[in-house]
Amino acid sequence: MRYLFALMLLLVPILGVWTFVEADRWQLWFPQNVSSFGGEIDGLFNLIMYMVAFTFIVTEVALAWFVFKYSANRPGKGVFTHGSHKLEMIWTAIPAVALLFIAFAQMETWAKVKFESNFPKDGKYTKEKPIAELWASQFDWRVRYPGDDGTLGTVDDLERSYEFVVPVNTDVVFHLRSRDVIHSFFVPEFRLKQDALPGHTIPVWFRAEKEGIYDLVCAELCGWGHYKMSGRMTVLSQADYDKRMADIKAEWFSNGKEQGQ
């Protein structure tokens, strides 16, 4: 019996590690990364994952070994102990050091992505002059582009729902806002997630390095329709982007003669 239980416990780390090894082959792993800082975030994820995996395997193997060794069927007498002060010191100190290490290791990346002082300053779009304003509301995304005057909040602002169009290989800064409750902007391919808070204007930046269509989802349970709060992040070449913006503008200032206007 003790062989059986020890084996079953050993299966946990073996199967657990196997799923991670096979995940990529079954396309259960991360989607491709297309943002400039996504690689660093993936690196941090992998670092933490290997640390956790090491701990997981060691503790699971130890567990299986203890079940095997100290089975009730074995002869011998139990020893009563108050524990080991030294051992407790060690298993407090090691995680503390590990957590401190993680805290320092991620700092640079976090600052790069989230600190406003590190936002792009020289590019076309800055914190003060964002590419657009992204409004989250129950339950859709609406993008408000500043229009010809380059200023948001004026009468010539263009607005489209659902689809956020940005140029490729450009530092993009946008303002994230919410009309009602807390939502969260999440584009898995960008490795970027940011909560939208009602009453706050939160600047967010990213640099997409590959053209394509990516899912934009709400990552904060925001009400009964949360599941349908999806959007589309379209990354276009600069020429296509200009063309698309011209289309949006033409549609906005339409005189109603075009079909469907």
**Residues near other proteins (CB under 8 A):** 137-142, 151-155, 159-163, 201, 213, 224-225, 228-232, 251-257, 259-261
Q: Output the smallest distance, CB 100 to other proteins, in A.
A: 41
Whole-number Å distance between alpha carbons of 88 and 78: 21
Helix (H, G, I), strand (E, B) or coil at 253: coil
Nearer of residues 204 and 248 to other proteins, judged by Cβ: 248
How is residue 72 written in tokens?
């009730």
Check if the beta carbon of residue 191 is closer than 8 Å to that of residue 181.
no
Based on its alpha-carbon atoms, the radius of gyration of the chain, rounded to whole angstroms, reads 26
CB-nearer residue toward other proteins: 83 or 256: 256
**What's the closest the beta carbon of residue 117 comes to other proteins, in angstroms?**
24
Which distant-in-sequence residues (6+ apart) come within 8 Å of 157 by Cβ?
Answer: 144, 145, 146, 147
What is the number of alpha carbons within 13 Å of residue 34 lying toward its C-beta?
Answer: 23
- Please state the closest distance from residue 149 (CB atom) to other proteins, in A: 9
Choice between 102 and 182, CB closer to other proteins: 182
- CA–CA dist 239, 58 (Å, integer): 54
Cβ closest to other proteins, residue 46 vs residue 161: 161
In whole angstroms, the minimum distance from the beta carbon of 50 to other proteins comes to: 30
Q: Which is nearer to other proteins, 190 or 214 (CB)?
A: 214
Residue 154 and residue 133 in contact, taking contact as beta carbons nearer than 8 Å: no
Q: Is 19 helix (H, G, I), strand (E, B) or coil?
A: helix
Peptide bond into 139 cis (omega under 30): yes
Q: Is 149 helix (H, G, I), strand (E, B) or coil?
A: coil
CB of 37 to other proteins, least distance (A): 26
Nearer to other proteins, 106 or 138 (CB): 138
- Let me know: does 142 contact 196? Beta carbons within 8 Å: no
Q: Rounded to whole angstroms, what are the CA distances from 172 to 88, 193, 214?
A: 49, 15, 16
Q: Are strands 202-207 and 192-196 parallel, antiparallel or unpaired?
A: unpaired
Q: How far is the CB of 86 from other proteins (least distance, A)?
A: 43
Which residue number, 34 or 64, has a Cβ lying nearer to other proteins? 34
Q: How far is the CB of 141 from other proteins (least distance, A)?
A: 8
